[in-house]
Amino acid sequence: MPDLSHLWQRFLLAIALLFGLVLGVGATVFGYSNTAPVAIGFSVFRIDGVPLWTVALVPLALVLVTGTLFHWFNGAPGRAP
């Protein structure tokens, strides 16, 4: 019986690639579809004329970058980032 762990890893990497491509296409379509300016206000902090797509995609991008950095720096001992 052959060891399928290598094939399983390739399958998971291919699925992750496809998911990333679909997510990127979806974010691009969302960005081009929602260009209306909005006002963002919190307490005394206020910004007018912000494109609507930035309200959703910028926080998502910040969370993804922060999570990636967290996993790189707090990964398994002895592993390089």
SS3 40: strand
Q: How many CB atoms lie within 10 A of CB 38?
A: 15
* pLDDT tens digits, one per residue of 16-33: 999 999 998 998 898 889
Estimate the crossing angle of helix 5-33 against helix 52-73, to 10 degrees.
150
**Domain contains 80:** no
**Domain contains 79:** no
**Domain contains 25:** yes
**Domain contains 78:** no
**Domain contains 31:** yes
pTM of the model: 0.59
**Domain contains 59:** yes
Domain count, the chain: 1
Task: Print the domain residue range for 35.
Answer: 5-73
* pLDDT tens digits, one per residue of 1-20: 456 688 888 898 899 999 99
**Domain contains 23:** yes
**Domain contains 81:** no
